[in-house]
A and B are shown apart, each in its own frame.
Chain A
Amino acid sequence: MQKFSFNRRLVIIIVCLIVSFALMTVSVAVRNKRSTPPLIQQFGNDIVGLTDRIVALPANGLSGSVSSISELLNTYQENQQLKKQVGELAQTKVRDQTLAKENKQLKQQIKLNDSLTDYSAISAAVITRTPSSWQNQVVINKGSSAGVVKNMPVMSGSGLVGRVAEVNKTNSKVELITDNNDSANRFAVQITTKSGKTVNGVLSGFNANSGQITMNNITTKAKISKGDKVVTSGLGGVTPKGLYVGQVAKASGDDYGLSTKLYITPATDLSDLNIVTVAVTKQ
């Protein structure tokens, strides 16, 4: 009798293991291929997302009020610094408007409707974050009903922070660029060097220890120097052109000495996200 129950337990454990593997494999495959998760999962996630807001909103509100009190302390200094910057900003803004207008007129002349730089923005608040040490994901409060589509780039502050990994009706998951998994989508970027040459490439990963984005396999002869700005190139279709990624921190030879490896300092603090912007390419 004892033996029988032991065998039964073993069978249950093995069956559970097999089912677990099957489910994991299926969900990874679905995640990589399909544009949205299955309908049932989407529905479930929407309901859970709505319930989560009951907990997340007060919690985030509380944290917001605490941080605003601490921010109050260094407001005076900040204010003086910002006043100086505002003067310059107004000038840039006016020039920007003129250029945008001119750009539009020129586009009309050559009958070009939308180029790679055109995108509209959806702002979203971060509801929650995946409690996991390797999956760097956040859940945002906008989904397919607001026009979010899988693989759209997500920005925060002044720079790129990730891409939309899963879309439900009212919320979606954003995979941050700090996530290093195999299936993570890499962004196509370009660097304009000081001599005016453009170098194209693909971001290849994130170095957690130094907090820098890495970029491998650059075979160009152009000299890339520290401080060169890295922006998305718009190649590949989903990401608009000209989203700021960061600055080159170091250029060095790769492990085999054949190509150049770049270290890029991200433009935004990737560990502290509250409000993000989803960039929607105009099709």
Chain B
Amino acid sequence: MQINLEENSAVASRAAVANTIGIALSVRGVHKRYGEREVLKGVDLDIEPGEFVAIVGRSGCGKSTLLRLVAGLESGQEGQLHYDGHEQDSRHETRIMFQDSRLLPWKRIVDNVALGLPPARQIDAEHVLGQVGLRERRHEWPARLSGGQRQRVALARALVHKPRLLLLDEPLGALDALTRIEMHALIESLWREHGFTALLVTHDVSEAIALADRVVLIDEGQITLDLRIDLPRPRHRGHAAFAALEEQVLRRVLQQAPDEKNPGTEHAGDVSLHRTVDQVRWAV
């Protein structure tokens, strides 16, 4: 059973590699300090090309700091970051989407999306706006859009650069629940279509499980859980397996006992348990 499961997941990730433009990201022994406070205490993380990884954790656990380091927005860390094995930050291949849309209010939607594009590729902005369903509104001001629509524009702005690595810093945190579910479907479909590697930071565990191939939990600057999610896509929140995984991760987030701080790979046993529950459910 156990072996079988591992094989399955290996096949799944190889399938993800096959048709991807995604970058392989490797984080090795990364420490980050702000003055006295050590925010990241030796983080190791490997992400395969085209993989969708979600980082969850309480606020202040260092998950956003890790994302900003990967994005090159912060520096001064110890340890190494490798993008496809290269050490220099390939920022032209990485795009970040922030919690607030950060649209320029004085530029019309289409010009916001075209920000930083060479003149010859301005036309791509309209195309990508079509993909997020806002082509008709391309000549409006950002102030006219709702929060969810602004985040869709921000997503289009990130995707128009054809990034090989898309970083999502709690991009849906400020949206209402229904809009968030819509956005999940949109992000998932665009991820499949474009084939970029995605790294999502969120405090919403169900969002992480709905979207990610792997959910990584950071607690007090260290990775304490690295869980592969093998649910078939598109995922439905109603399923027992989904709920069980959510419960498992949530329990880990809420636990802060010192003995729970070991790397969580040994919890693969739990996964298989939920898998079997899932399979039983499917079989019934």
A and B are interacting partners: no
